Structure 1
Amino acid sequence: MLSALDHLVMYVDDLPQAVDFYSRVLDMDAKEQDAGHADLHFGNLTLRLQLADSAAEPKATRPATGGMELSFASRLPLEEVERHLAALSIPVELGPVARAGGKGPVESLYLRDPEGNLLEITRPRR
């Protein structure tokens, strides 16, 4: 019945800070944006950042910030990702460590965005 995930909504308290983090740190392409939301594009997916107190309807029953865990696949070796994060003073919480990804074994780095969401950056293990 379904063919793909079209977009994912993440609730935030500080939209400009979140847009800056995801575009500057994770190289996502910030597109449509207004006072209540911003769409960030990467690969075939859109990450929609939406203010938790936005009047937009419909929305989640209990919109909350900082409760997401997202895993992103990296085109770059994790060593390059680590250097990029270090240059931006973004701490790595854990990794690289061996994990089981959605499509097989991966090496992962973990970090947090400004809202406290846990972000995993993966690369297939060889």
Structure 2
Amino acid sequence: MALIDHLDHLVLTCVDLVATKRFYTEVLQMHLQTFGEGRIAFQFGNQKINVHVKGTEFEPKAHLPVPGALDLCFIAVVPLDDVIAHLNRCGWPILEGPVERTGAVQKIRSVYVRDPDLNLIEISEVI
């Protein structure tokens, strides 16, 4: 029996909160959440990304919270061709793809972009 069932949230440390909000809410179309004492998160499915701004991180925090250190893969709810068209409409550059990769449980087809802090963001569809 496994100990862990699923990921609830992760924490992203950013430099420019306005640019980060734009990317995750407009480009990736996640829902902006406010909680606690003015904290924000980006919600998608049953998970969320909590946001810390470098220098004002919420405690406790990672040992070395550094903007640009994440490499995340998201499974899209629409076909990858629709994702690519949306990224093009937003003027958001695709670094690589579409390419085939191995996901957690099956093969995926992906494109790669960078968020405003240069985190690597992989957006995929199951194939």
Bin the TM-score by the shorter chain: over 0.9
Counterpart in the other structure of 2:96: 94
Give the Å deviation of 1:2.
Answer: 2.8
Determine the C-alpha separation between the residues in 2 that align with 1:35 and 1:108.
36
Q: Give the alignment's TM-score, normalised by structure 1.
A: 0.92
Give the Å deviation of 1:3.
Answer: 2.5
Please say if 1:15 is aligned against 2:13.
no
Letter in 1 for 2:32: A
Give the Å deviation of 1:36.
Answer: 7.0
Residues 43-58 of structure 1: pairs in structure 2 closer than 5 A = 43-58=45-60
- Greater Cα offset, 32-41 or 69-78: 32-41
Determine the C-alpha separation between the residues in 2 that align with 1:56 and 1:47.
14
Contact 1:11 1:63 in 2 (8 A): yes
SS for the counterpart of 1:53 is: coil
SS for the counterpart of 1:5 is: coil
Stretches of structure 2 that go unaligned for 5 or more consecutive residues are none
Q: Give the alignment's TM-score, normalised by structure 2.
A: 0.92
Counterpart in the other structure of 2:122: 120
Determine the C-alpha separation between the residues in 2 that align with 1:75 and 1:97.
18
Determine the C-alpha separation between the residues in 2 that align with 1:36 and 1:64.
21
Q: Deviations over 1:69-123 (max 9, x none)?
A: 0000011111111110001110110010011011111101000001100000110
Give the Å deviation of 1:37.
Answer: 3.9
RMSD, aligned α-carbons: 1.6
Size of the aligned set, in residue pairs, is 125
Q: Deviations over 1:50-84 (max 9, x none)?
A: 11211521111111000100000011111111110
Give the Å deviation of 1:35.
Answer: 8.5
Which residue among 107, 110, 120 is the counterpart of 2:109?
A: 107
- Greater Cα offset, 35-44 or 83-92: 35-44
Give the Å deviation of 1:43.
Answer: 0.3
Determine the C-alpha separation between the residues in 1 that align with 2:123 and 2:36.
28
